[in-house]
Structure 1
């Protein structure tokens, strides 16, 4: 039962993200391919990686990663920042444009959280909180 529910939870969260990724371009957004959306999310979740770190994490060649990064910079979803310690090193940062795009998922997750708060007692919420903390620790 746990395996099945865990899989369903993961699937629903993932599908929510991709549903937003594949939506029609609106209010000036450039549409993103699924690969571009995934690359942006990885860069965001890695927290200011270098191009090399991004390439290594995704197991792609440095030229391929550089091409992807430059394309996302051109579309306005990503920017490069020189390292303060080593000016030869460049870190990748997602832009406000990406965050507006990405936060659409946050609104969905906020709705889910609100539904949970309405359906569970405070004791059940406290227990869920403890369980989620363990799950987060296990994933990391």
Structure 2
């Protein structure tokens, strides 16, 4: 059965949006005071969060990477001054991660970009239409979660 033209257009637009968001983030990062960061490092900062002190294993799970991969990335972020490690008082094996002042500034800048993007995405839609968009995104996220389970 042939794919309906609108479904092809939606697929093409989803692919383009995905590529373009990454490209714009990379370009803006290179133009900013945070040009010493990679996209992966920026998303690691985002996964740590502003006022949280998650464990390194929790951040690794959020990013869908191994603990070893995260450890390498965190070493770089500590060296660059974006992240600090804090060992738990009761169990020194537990490492909590927190953003430095520089890391919090990067986090806020990244969040501002995403806020602008979402504001523009829903511009001109009423509340019911925004809920419909959210439902469509929930469907997409469910599909992605199902695919993740098969990996």
Q: TM-score range by the shorter chain?
A: 0.5 to 0.7
Distance in 1, Cα, partners of 2:123 & 2:44: 32
Off by >6 Å, runs of 4+ in structure 1:
none
Distance in 2, Cα, partners of 1:24 & 1:124: 35
Any idea what SS the aligned residue of 1:91 has? strand
Q: State how many pairs are aligned.
A: 128
Contact 1:83-1:90 within 8 A present in 2 as well:
yes
Deviation at 1:127, TM superposition (A): 0.6
Contact 1:79-1:92 within 8 A present in 2 as well:
yes
Contact 1:16-1:105 within 8 A present in 2 as well:
no
Any idea what SS the aligned residue of 1:119 has? coil
Contact 1:44-1:93 within 8 A present in 2 as well:
no
CA distances 1:28-75 after superposition (whole Å, capped 9, x unpaired): x6x4142xx41352364275315xx59x9258679x81xx53342232
Contact 2:84-2:97 within 8 A present in 1 as well:
yes
CA RMSD of aligned residues (A): 3.2
**What TM-score results when the alignment is normalised by the length of structure 1?**
0.67
Corresponding position: 1:32 with 2:40: no
Structure 2: segments with no counterpart, 5+ residues: 1-7, 49-53, 146-151
Any idea what SS the aligned residue of 2:36 has? coil
Give the match for residue 125 of structure 1: 130
Give the match for residue 25 of structure 2: 17
**What TM-score results when the alignment is normalised by the length of structure 2?**
0.63
